[in-house]
Amino acid sequence: MLQKKICMVGAFATGKTSLVARYVQGIYSDKYQTTVGVKIDKKVVTVAGQELNLILWDIHGEDEFQKIRMSYLRGSAAYILVVDGTRRDTLGTVFQLQAKVEDTIGKVPFITIFNKYDLSQDWEVGEEDLEELSQRQWTYCMGSARTGLGVEECFTKLAQMML
C-alpha cells in the first residue's frame, strides 16, 4: 500500500479537525493540536484499484496568537486548504497560506474544502469567490463535517490528483 503525507491547513476554527474526525483512525487526542500544534490521523482510500494510506497532519489553525509551523509541511505529497464558508475572511487567510505553503514545499496537488455547507442561511462565500478560485485553477469542493456531506468525495478527489 502506498503511503502519502497530507497536511490540512486553514484559519482558526474552520473545522479542520471535525472534517476528518468521523472518517479517520487515530490514537491521539485533540490536546496535541493545541500543545504540539499538530494531530495525526490516518485514512485509507481506494482510487482506481490502488489503496492509499493517507497520513493526515491536522495542523493547528492560524490565528492572531499562533502561526502555523511551516516545518510540519515538509515532505507532504499534497495538502488540503480548509475554508469556513460562513466566514468569508477565512478564504483570504487560505490565499495567503497557500502562497506560504507553496514557498515551503513547492508545487504539489492540493484541494480547497468549503466547510459548513449545511449552514446555508449563514453562507458568506459568493459566486465571485468561486470564480476567483476557478481563475486560479484551484480544485475545490463543498463539504459539511456535521452532516458528512461531500467529505468522502473531497478525499477521493485529492487522492486521484496525487496518482
Partner 1 sequence: MSNLPTNANQDASNPDKPSQADDLTKLRSLLIGPALKEQFENAKLRSEDVSRVLPEAIQLTLKTGDKRVSEAVVPTVEHAIKSSVNTDQNILSEALFPIMGPAIRKAIAAAIQNLTDSLNQSLEHSLSPQSISWRFEAWRTGKSFAEVLLLRTLVYQVEQVFLIHKNSGLVLQHLAAETAAAQDADLVSAMFTAIQDFVRDSFSVSDDTLGSLQVGELTIWVNEGPQAIIACVIRGNPPGQLRQTMENALERIHLVQEQQLHHFQGDSSAFEPSQPYLEECLQSQYQAKKKRASPLKWIGGAAGILLLGLGAWGVLSSYERHQVQSFVDQLNQEAGIVVLRTEKQDGKYAISGLRDPLAPEPADLMAKMDLEPEKFVFYWEPYLSFDAEFIESRVKSLLQPPETVTLKVDTNGTVQASGTAPQAWITEAKQLALRLPNITQFNTQQIVPVEASALAGIKAKIEAQTFFFTQNAQLVPQQNDKLKTLAEDIKQLAKTAKTINQNVAVLVEGHTDRSGSELINLYVREIRAKAIISLLSKQGIEKNLLQAVSIEPSESTTPGLVSQISKSNRKVTFKVIFIHPSDAN
- Contacting partner 1 (CB under 8 A), which of 32, 95, 123, 138? 32
Instruction: Name the one range near partner 1 by CB under 8 A: 14-22, 33-41, 106-114, 131-139.
Output: 33-41
Report if residue 36 touches partner 1, rule: CB under 8 A: yes
- Report how far apart, in Å, the C-alpha atoms of 17 and of each of 3, 34, 36, 143, 158 are: 21, 12, 15, 13, 17
Within positions 49 to 78, which residues make up the interface with partner 1, using CB under 8 A?
52-53, 55, 57, 69, 71-72, 74-77
What the block records as the C-alpha cell of 143 is: 463539504
Report if residue 41 touches partner 1, rule: CB under 8 A: yes
Round to whole Å and give the CA distance between 146 and 123: 15
By the 8 A CB rule, do 39 and 52 touch?
no
CB closer to partner 1 out of 72 and 114: 72
Number of residues engaging partner 1 in binding (CB under 8 A) = 26
- Shortest Cβ 37–partner 1 spacing (Å): 7
By the 8 A CB rule, do 20 and 8 touch?
yes
Within positions 67 to 126, which residues make up the interface with partner 1, using CB under 8 A?
69, 71-72, 74-77
122 exposure class (CB count in 10 Å sphere: 0-12, 13-18, 19+) = exposed
Report if residue 29 touches partner 1, rule: CB under 8 A: no
- Report how far apart, in Å, the C-alpha atoms of 143 and of each of 33, 112, 152 are: 22, 10, 9
What does the binding site for partner 1 look like in residue numbers (CB under 8 A)? Answer: 2-5, 25-28, 32, 36-38, 40-42, 52-53, 55, 57, 69, 71-72, 74-77
